[in-house]
Amino acid sequence: MAIPLDSFEVQSESPVEFASLKRNGMDLESLIAIQEMFPYFEMLNGPTYVTFVKDFWVRAEVYDVDAAKAEELKAVIRDPSLKGKTRQEMGLESFRQTEIRSSVMGIPITITEEVIAKACRVAANGRFIWNANRNHPFLESYKGVVLKGNSSTKLVDIDGQHRMLLKFMTECFFQKGGGSDQPSVDHKLVLYFLASFNKINLPKYIMHHLYWAINEGIRGKRKQIPYGRLLFEIFIQGKLLEIFRRNNLASDQALRTKTGKMINGKTLQNMNIIKKFSPNEKDLKESTTPTKLMKDFPPIYQERNPEVLAKLVADSVKESGIRLDTEAPAAVEVPLQVRRKRTASDAGLEASGAQTKKSRKDKSEASNPDNNSAPIPKRKRERGETPPVNTQEKLAEAREERAKKMRAFKKKYETPGFVMTPEDAKAAQK
């Protein structure tokens, strides 16, 4: 991708505490039961290993019909006799479905809609509309159900339940990456389906949102990585984490564990839907414990030889310079030092000769007893011993030498009608 690795931001989906919402006056259980999404929200309450997700994302690409055709064209360019042949005759795998292809720590993986559905614990069926236009007939239904028939209604003024469903969409289904807070036409239809008890095809929506986000990242237009929690869940269930741990490459600190922020009764207060939040000691907390392995999870990589897998990981670690077997130092939060205003009492203390705060230099000298001892005499250089090389002096000499050569080229080639650029100078040197 065109964006540097360190510039990416991994977004972890928010888990939801439905019991806390219900206790604080927001009962959404019947709406979510229709969607069969309770297992999905339960899965969201888990860790995301940021290092793995970023390593996957920078190599991710969408393999669709267009990519398959480009693959065939490359084969024909290499060997014109393959023109008109089938993919099998070209030595290519048959195209079955759109996939996301990438690798994690050197292991090539493939993610399909079936993999997404299994990791979400949600069946891939229900309503699905993508790339809808502004004249879609369901928009009238959206206006009637969500906006109560008034198209000028602001989203902040809609029903509390619908506002919370919209929050689920932006923090659990389709994480935003900046830009407008207004939902797209597609997302308006999703909000309408949720509010009107129409089941949506969540895995299919997630897959298409991933396609879009990957392509935006390739174009350099998006730095946010959505579905950090879901992607890591796929790596867990695909047994990648098991491989890394078997090769001593899975330290929680080095892999930078992250969790999504819990949506609960406190969220209702923050959204001004309720005035006072009623906490409970049984309220769920964000979890950093990986989920247990599922049975019959679709394979996400083809290689099964443990020795080959170990070598792929080792080569990737060597190439990237990432050390996952050592723990990174724990981050320490330093309190913010706020400079206060001088008061009259401060001035009075100084005028009276009272001891004031020492400068940084004074502190360092006082704390270092060596500074108070006699200076160490310089060692004389032995006969024939070369003087120490000063790197900074050498760099300065090299820069000056290049500047002299540039001035000489300009003097030789420049005329009143031609001014030499650095590019021209480089060409002249060749």
Predicted confidence band of residue 254 (pLDDT cuts 50, 70, 90): low
**Stretch 340-358: mean pLDDT, rounded?**
45
* pLDDT score for 2: 61
What sign does the CA torsion over 307, 313, 316, 320 have?
negative
Predicted pLDDT at 256:
81
Instruction: Say if residue 38's pLDDT is above 70.
Output: yes
Please report the sign of the dihedral spanned by the C-alpha atoms of residue 388, residue 390, residue 391, residue 395. negative
Q: Which amino acid would we find at residue 96?
A: R
DSSP string, 46-94: S-EEHHHHHHHHTT-EEE-HHHHHHHHHHHHHH-GGGTT--HHHHT-PP
Q: Are 183 and 166 a contacting pair, CB within 8 Å?
A: yes
Full DSSP string of 192-226 = HHHHTT--B-HHHHHHHHHHHHHHHHHTT---EE-
Closest by CA position to 206, among listed 329, 113, 87, 344: 113
| Residue 57, pLDDT score | 95
pLDDT value, residue 424: 55
What does the buried/exposed string (b/e) look like for 285-322 if buried means 16 or more CB atoms within 10 Å of the residue's CB? Answer: ebeeebbeeeeebbebbeeeeeeebbebbeebbeeeee
pLDDT computed for residue 6 by the predictor = 77
The model's pLDDT over 366-404, given as tens digits with 9 standing for 90+, comes to 444 444 444 545 545 444 444 544 555 666 676 677 677
Label residue 118 by pLDDT band (50, 70, 90).
Answer: very high
Least confident of 128-132, 306-310, 424-428: 424-428
Regarding predicted confidence, which is higher, 122 or 429? 122
Predicted confidence (pLDDT) per residue in 77-96, tens digit: 999 999 999 999 999 999 99
Q: Confidence band (pLDDT; 50, 70, 90) for 340?
A: very low
Nearest to 316 by CA among 216, 233, 413, 249: 249
3-state SS assignment for residue 108:
strand
pLDDT at position 412: 57
Nearest 10 degrees: CA dihedral of 363, 365, 370, 374?
Answer: -150
Q: Are 190 and 173 in contact (CB under 8 A)?
A: yes
Q: Given this model, what pLDDT does residue 221 score? A: 86
The answer to whether residue 267 scores a pLDDT higher than 70 is yes
Query: pLDDT for 134-158, tens place per residue?
Result: 999 999 999 999 999 998 899 989 9
Residues in a beta bridge with 103:
108
- Higher pLDDT: 355 or 178? It is 178
Give one DSSP letter per residue of 339-392, joined into a string.
PPPP-HHHHHHHHTT---PPPHHHHHHHH-GGGGSPPPPPPPPPTTPPPPP-HH
pLDDT at 98: 94
Neighbours of 185 (CB within 10 A): 17
- Indicate the domain borders of the chain: 5-58+108-304, 403-430
Dihedral, 232, 248, 110, 286 alpha carbons, nearest 10: 0
Q: What pLDDT is stored for residue 370 in this prediction?
A: 46
Neighbours of 388 (CB within 10 A): 7
Cα 7 versus chain centre, distance: 9
Q: What share of the chain in percent tops pLDDT 70?
A: 72
Residue 253 confidence class, pLDDT cut points 50, 70, 90: low
pLDDT of residue 146: 95
Instruction: Please give the mean pLDDT across all residues of the chain.
Output: 81
Q: Which of 173, 177, 171 is nearest to 189 (CA)?
A: 173
Dist. CA 341–CA 323, nearest whole Å:
46
